[in-house]
Structure formats: C-alpha cells, structure tokens
Structure 1
C-alpha cells in the first residue's frame, strides 16, 4: 500500500488524538490582537476557516500564499492550512527591506500575501493581487467559519509544499522548493534524533521563516505537543517563558543562547529549566566555551545540528554518556538517519537524502550549479573524523552567516558599489564571539572622495535589511587581485582569522 506523505497527516493525527490538548500559546506582545491560548481542536477549526477563506478568494491548489510575519499563532495556522490544502506556503523573512520582499513576491508569483501589522507599516505599495493584514482584517474578511473547505483534490507527496527563500552567492534570494515528502521525512527524522515526544513544551525561539522552523512545527502538531510563541529574541523573556510554561525544548543559533547566558547573570534565584531543557543549536559553528556555559551555568542539555534550507537536516550531535570535555559537541555531528555525506573537490561537503530540495524555484542555472550527479553541493568545507562525525572548517561559497542569517557578500558589494564615493569594495566575514561572524567591508574610496565608516554602514542599511549591513569598514588604497583580476578574498580574510583553526565561526 502506498499512501502519500503530506503535511495533512500531522493535522489529522492532532485532531484524532490531541484535540483537547493545549496547542498554541500566542505571543502576547504584538500589534495584532493575540489569539487566546487554544487547544488543537480549536486550532484545527481555525485552520479549516483559513482554507475555506482561501477557497473563497479563488486561490487554487499549487498557487503561492506568502506570509510576512514574526512568530505568531496566525503564522503557524497558515503554515498548516496552506500546505495541507495543496497550496504552496511562502514564509518570508520579515526583516528584509520592502524592495527585497517585493522581489520574492514577484519571483514566486504570489497570489495573496498576509502581512504582520508592523510589516505592513513599512512595506509600502508592494504589487500583489491580494494583500491582507494579519489580525482583525483577516479574521473578518478572509477566514470562513460558516463553510467547510474543499479537500485537496489529489494529494501528492511530491508536490511542492513550501518555498523558503535563502540568501546564497547571488545578489538575489533563491526560492527553495520543499516537497511534502521532504518535509514529512525531515520532521520525523528530527523527532527521532532530538527525542521529541508528546510531553515536550516547545518555545519558538527560531523564526518560522527559517526552513519552516526547521520543519518541527509539523511534528509538534502531530504529537499534540504544546507550542509557545515568542516574537523577538530577548534573553530574560526566554527565561521567563521557560519558567512560566515549563518549556523543555527550543531551537536557535548560538547568538540566541548567548543572549540567554547574558540574561542569566541577573536572573534572581535558580535558573529555570535546569535539568529539563534541551536546546538544539545551528546556524554557525559553536565554541567549546559556549557548550560548557550552557551545560554548567544554565544546566540545559546542548545538542547541535547542521543543515541548510536546501537540505534540511544533515547531521545531529549530542553528548554521549561519560564523554569528556565538550563531548565533541563543537563538531557538526554524524549524518542523520537517511543522509549520505561525502567530501568532494577542495573538501566541499556533498549531501544526498530524501530531505534535499526538489529544486530552486524557476532557476535552472542555480539548479545546475548546486546539484551534481545526484549530490547537493553545500558550499561548506569539512572533514570526517574516525568516529564518522563531520567538522566544518571553511566555505567555498561566498556567504557570511551572522547570527544564523545567511548574507550574500555579492549582494552587499553590489549595494555598496552604488555609493558615489566608493571605487571598489570587497565584503568578507570576520569572527565575532556573539554573532559567529559579522560583515566587514573593505573599501577603496573613489579618487578625491572622502567617506567614513559610519556613512558606508548607514548607506547599506538604507538599501538592504539591517543585518546585511557591515558592522565595520576598512579603507585601502587597492584590493589584492590575482593575475586575471579576481579579488583575493582569502588574503583579505587571513589577518582576521589568524589564530583560528577554522575559517568559519
């Protein structure tokens, strides 16, 4: 018997086995009215109302439904509703500029976009057929509680479920097409390795637009696990919610846990969650010091994973009993179940699994560059130790990962080349204890021009999302080049990475 694997499977089980269990505790501090804490039965009633509303709007199966919002209950409802009805959900990074968001909506040809009120205030006149503000407008003008939604006419596990846009080596983001099959298998594989179960209380410290929250919101629904939403990262607020809601599990980049550690210094009394909380870290390599502080100062279990939006989960790493020192947790980890990894030319990590992307949306050139003989080129450089664990050392691709966000150095360079006082520019990543890496611009001023570091940074923030802007600027008379004129970024990076045993941080 062959039954298609779709995201609806998780919702069906939630309704059958966990209808009375607490589902979503919404973010209380938001411009849209927070939804009351709901059961899975109520959440699924609202999911059907979203689906019926999309039916009424004439949004057919396979059409793209974009959502631009920080973490909220409505965002999760749409992630569930859109995919389970055979439509394609496009969770967009709300931190991007209006121009960047507009490009994504055009590239995916979104039929409708739902936006957070704060995003709507800065989005401007983005040209889409239909646009609604999450909250009162969607409750009254979109959701339909009076009719049943049309069922998905022909469920297909190979149909695209989500498009997740990621910054790569190009100046434009690429849409990563993930199928129902890849999402289903990623959720289950993640659950096995992280030992997720019905009794977990999950805190959404990871933005949902990051690879659908790494795919785990689907599994949490299928298990009937409680989910607590947090809109923005604040270390003290994370500790408060761990205490108030009995949180046991949270995901995030190293910068998230650094913020918690800083807040813990001033926390009155015992740190909440000691001996109970598991944190899953990814987005940047971690230091032994960070691992030690999380385990000893917070008393939380530390787990590390490695993956990309294009691959979802690739490796998993947790401390084994009686493991000395950092327990090997600074390594990316061993291949996850069903994942094959090897290294290719220059040590680049190559991957294949049922969880790797279907394709880049409408971008054959990117597909040809990334997929080679059935293997996905990650752009990361690494090596395997005697235990079969992968450690990462460098990047082949010209990408900077800062605070878990990928930044294309080409995109930042293209932006800064438009500054009238800049003749040449190279953008590199440099190590940073809090963010892993930060963006540095190396600038050659135009003849006779004077430009300051502050002017360069401000100019970039006006054009791009703020996290893409340089945090520092160096000025040079010339940039080092090869004999054929290519800028030698390795030479530019070397002084900043001296003393580090790897060229990513």
Structure 2
C-alpha cells in the first residue's frame, strides 16, 4: 500500500465529510484530494529518490493538503517542527537535502533565514498568501502544473518520509520511513484502537511534525481532524466537548496540566473513545487519576522515530484488568509488543534476557526503520546482534508487559520532546564563568523530566542562574533551557577525569522507583 492509497480510502468512504476544521476554515476530503492532486501536478519530477519537501506552518488545514501533495507527487516528506528554532530546523533540512519548502506567511522571517542557511532549498511556496520575496502563493504554484497527480509506482520499500530522531535537537539524525514502515504503523494503529463509528481526532501538537503523522494514520476511515493552534489545556477540554472528539493523543506533560486545571471536571468527555499518551513515560498515579477524570479511555503507546509510535500498546482493558497487586503494576508499564514488531530485553553481550531481568529494549520487524539516512556508522551502532537497539533500559514481566526503567543514552525527554544534554553543555561551556558542567533530566511533576544543569564555576568570574538559562534559550530555544541550575564545588569524575554524569543524575532520582 502507498501512502496515497490510505488517504484515497477516506475520500472514497466520505468525500464530503470535513477532513480538517478549525475556527476559520473547514476542508472536506474531496477538497483536500483536489488540492493535493494539483500540488503534486506542479511539483518537479521526483527522480529515483523523490523530491524532498517540507511544510513549515502553524497548525492549519492547508498544511495537511501540502503534505498529501508531496506523497501524491512521489516525493519525500521531511517533517519540520514549527516549534523548533530556525537553527534546529536548518540543521535537519540541510542534512536531508530538502529542496521544496511550503510555508505559512506568519513564518516569513524564519523562511528568509532558512533560505540562507539551507542551500538545497530551491523553491519556497507560501500556502496562505503571496510570498514575501517573490515566492509564489499556493494558488500560483498549482497553476504551473497539469492539475493532476502522477501515477506513483507501487514499491513498498520506497522511502516516503525522513523523520527527525531528536524532536527539537539540532543533532537529529534522519529516520527514513518507507511505505512498508507506514503500513506497519497504520496496521498497528487500527489493530490497537478499532473503531467503526465516524471518528473525530483532536490535533493539538505540531501538524507539520508528529501530529500530522497521527492524522495520516486516521484518514483511511475518513476521520474529521479538529485543529487547535496549540496544546493549551483549556482549549483541548473545550474542543473535546464542543466537537464530540473521539481520539486525543498527548504527551504526559499536557495531561498533567489538564489534571491540574481547576475546571477539568466541568467538561463533558463522554464522546472520547481513546485518550492516548505518547512521547514519554507517565507517572502511574497520574494515569490512575486520568482514568477517574476522563473515564475508561486512557491508553499508552511506546515508540521512537526508528520504530515509530507502536512498539508497545497499553490498552484501557489492560488497565481495567489491573486489579491484583501484581496487576496494579501495569500502570507503570508501556504495554505489550504490537502485531508488527518483536521486542526483547538484551544485555550488552547480545544475550536475550528472561522475564524480570533488566537490559536494553531491542526490536525486530516491519515496523523497524531501514537505517539512518546516509549514516551507515550510526545504523551499524544501533543494529548490533541483528536487532535495533532503542537505548532504553527495561524489563518484561511474566505476562509480556514491558517496563521502561532507565535510559542508556544521554537524552532527556521533557514535555514529550527529546533533548540531548551534550548540546546544552556545549553552550554552557561557552560562557567564561563555567569551568565544567553536567546536564541531566530530573523528576518533575509537570514535564516528566526537567532539564537541570550542575556546574563548576571558574574562580573570579561572576555569573547567575538567570544569565546562563537565558544563554541556552537564545542559542537552542526554550525547550532546551535548563529549568534550574546548581553550582557544585566539584563534579564527580572518573579516574581519567571524565565527569560522571550518571552519578550526578542518580543524586536527583535516588528516592524514585523509576529513573526515567
């Protein structure tokens, strides 16, 4: 199956059903299909690898039409996160060789900078207005073409998406997804969450990034996607009631903000079928509270860019069956492996471990990506012993449920975004007052993990917590900026002088059952 075939199923099922709605516009499946065909008809020949194209926009229905147009043309969608800094997006677009950029006029200044930073971008198209420097509008661009999409050949191994691995980090690698990868993910989606009734999906995350991928998985059943400008707790709760939303996908940090809202119990959530938590582990007590507030609709999935979305799934039924003392532990689980992936727990020597023993979570199957984009060294590193290595430490219980307990990589998951500590350390070390530093994730009720920096200062050079936080924010953006900074007289070091970051991290997690 090609990506366009899944969307065509939605068009055939309900052509006049709204595909995307927001406060200003509603576009039906037939209208999206027409726009996508005309966009594809104007795009240049895709060539053997496919034209690499990105959409850079706030949440807007036209952004999805452009994504579908890329698929219709046989191109490669390169997801750009609108919430990233220009520098972060420039790194990823350069690394993937992005050639075409569809953008919203509100990002004109950022696009001007991207054109300077990313030489491969040869064409920019403004989706909602005339472009600022002679770029065509979407209407003008579509007028260049034939008005219809080319016939894209069936090739299950053709790469159609290159997804960033780091969420908001400038050191992201590219994870290619083929038609086969998408097919495995879409199959897992509908197997885990069957629903014959017309669905209404709330799009609160960045549409040109992960939230757009979720919408793509739902279109075969002609789902209506309700588009919000941002993941604001009150907007989400209002939209669920107003639009009779059936499906919501959020990181735990947004759920925590919703649970803390004084009006959380005043809205009607009876339409919900699935409230799915993704992107980071959730505190078990918060999950129990959410079941009480939103009803028996809570579930959770575990994945990463290399094995997208559905390595495991923890269903509502799994949680409802957690009545015994042993079963209650399931609230700390990320679920059981899904249909299109094999999971195992492996030690550093490649031995698959029995239930109860901790090791690295490894994966095989059609859901696993084919290898990093133009990076064979990194591919070889994560493919030892014939398995994909996730970098997450966990264990499997006797019933097959997977539990994530720690992280092998120096990566922090804060609010659903992946942040690599090395980047932040490099920025902090550029300040004249910082002699040495270690950046770690620490437990936080709101963010799951909060970015924390522990530093040694140089004698006689003054600085402040606010100054250092502002420095990181200016260089990398607010997601990377430490929420707090501590000054230690001396950081722990190994015999060869290397800072023992794990020891620093353990100081903040010692009273917690999980270290993630």
TM-score by length of 1: 0.91
In structure 1, distance between residues paired with 2:507 and 2:410: 18
**2:311 aligned with 1:314:** yes
In structure 1, distance between residues paired with 2:87 and 2:339: 39
Partner of 1:250: 248
Aligned-pair CA distance for 1:360:
1.2
Give matches, 1:90-101, under 5 Å. 90-101=78-89
Aligned-pair CA distance for 1:414:
1.6
- Residues 1:336 and 1:141: Cα distance change in structure 2 (over 3 Å): same
In structure 1, distance between residues paired with 2:170 and 2:220: 38
Partner of 1:8: 4
Checking the alignment, whether the CA contact within 8 Å between 2:168 and 2:417 is kept in structure 1 is no
Checking the alignment, whether the CA contact within 8 Å between 2:39 and 2:66 is kept in structure 1 is yes
Partner of 2:301: 305
In structure 2, distance between residues paired with 1:152 and 1:424: 57
> Secondary structure at the residue paired with 2:148?
coil
- Residues 1:76 and 1:219: Cα distance change in structure 2 (over 3 Å): same
Partner of 2:323: 324
Partner of 1:450: 462
Partner of 1:195: 194
Partner of 1:339: 341
In structure 2, distance between residues paired with 1:432 and 1:348: 24
Partner of 1:131: 124
**2:96 aligned with 1:103:** no
1:220-272 Cα shifts (integer Å, max 9, x gaps) = 21111111111201111111111111101110100121222233x236x8422
Once structures 1 and 2 are overlaid, which stretch shifts more, 281-290 or 243-252?
281-290
1:273-331 Cα shifts (integer Å, max 9, x gaps) = 23634210012211222112212123351001111011011000113254328572320
Partner of 2:351: none
> Secondary structure at the residue paired with 1:91?
coil
- Residues 1:344 and 1:169: Cα distance change in structure 2 (over 3 Å): farther
In structure 2, distance between residues paired with 1:81 and 1:108: 19
> Secondary structure at the residue paired with 2:498?
coil
> Secondary structure at the residue paired with 2:114?
coil
Once structures 1 and 2 are overlaid, which stretch shifts more, 483-492 or 118-127?
118-127
Checking the alignment, whether the CA contact within 8 Å between 1:91 and 1:212 is kept in structure 2 is no
- Residues 1:377 and 1:211: Cα distance change in structure 2 (over 3 Å): farther
Checking the alignment, whether the CA contact within 8 Å between 1:168 and 1:408 is kept in structure 2 is no
In structure 1, distance between residues paired with 2:370 and 2:465: 42
**2:175 aligned with 1:179:** no
> Secondary structure at the residue paired with 1:95?
coil
Query: 1:289 aligned to 285, 290, 307, which one?
Result: 285
Query: 1:39 aligned to 2, 25, 28, which one?
Result: 28
> Cα RMSD between the aligned structures?
2.2
- Residues 1:162 and 1:212: Cα distance change in structure 2 (over 3 Å): farther
Checking the alignment, whether the CA contact within 8 Å between 1:275 and 1:299 is kept in structure 2 is no
Partner of 2:134: none
Aligned-pair CA distance for 1:397:
0.6
**2:443 aligned with 1:413:** no
Give matches, 1:42-121, under 5 Å. 42-55=31-44, 62-121=50-109
Once structures 1 and 2 are overlaid, which stretch shifts more, 350-359 or 94-103?
94-103
Give matches, 1:480-499, under 5 Å. 480-499=492-511
Checking the alignment, whether the CA contact within 8 Å between 1:186 and 1:355 is kept in structure 2 is yes
Checking the alignment, whether the CA contact within 8 Å between 1:91 and 1:208 is kept in structure 2 is no
1:185-236 Cα shifts (integer Å, max 9, x gaps) = 20121111022445111101233355464x4322321111111111201111
In structure 2, distance between residues paired with 1:435 and 1:134: 34
> Secondary structure at the residue paired with 2:102?
strand
- Residues 1:452 and 1:270: Cα distance change in structure 2 (over 3 Å): closer
Once structures 1 and 2 are overlaid, which stretch shifts more, 40-49 or 325-334?
325-334
Aligned-pair CA distance for 1:171:
6.2
- Residues 1:489 and 1:168: Cα distance change in structure 2 (over 3 Å): farther
- Residues 1:462 and 1:123: Cα distance change in structure 2 (over 3 Å): farther
**2:514 aligned with 1:502:** yes
Partner of 1:164: 163
Query: 1:392 aligned to 377, 387, 404, which one?
Result: 404
Checking the alignment, whether the CA contact within 8 Å between 2:42 and 2:146 is kept in structure 1 is no
Checking the alignment, whether the CA contact within 8 Å between 1:285 and 1:436 is kept in structure 2 is yes
Partner of 2:276: 280
Aligned-pair CA distance for 1:170:
8.8
> Secondary structure at the residue paired with 1:360?
coil
How many residues are paired up? 488
**2:463 aligned with 1:423:** no
In structure 1, distance between residues paired with 2:512 and 2:293: 25
Once structures 1 and 2 are overlaid, which stretch shifts more, 142-151 or 430-439?
142-151
1:110-167 Cα shifts (integer Å, max 9, x gaps) = 1111223333334542233222333123333323397333414533221111111122
1:49-108 Cα shifts (integer Å, max 9, x gaps) = 2212324xx665611001222332122222222123210011111222222222222111
Query: 1:216 aligned to 208, 214, 217, which one?
Result: 214
Checking the alignment, whether the CA contact within 8 Å between 2:450 and 2:483 is kept in structure 1 is yes
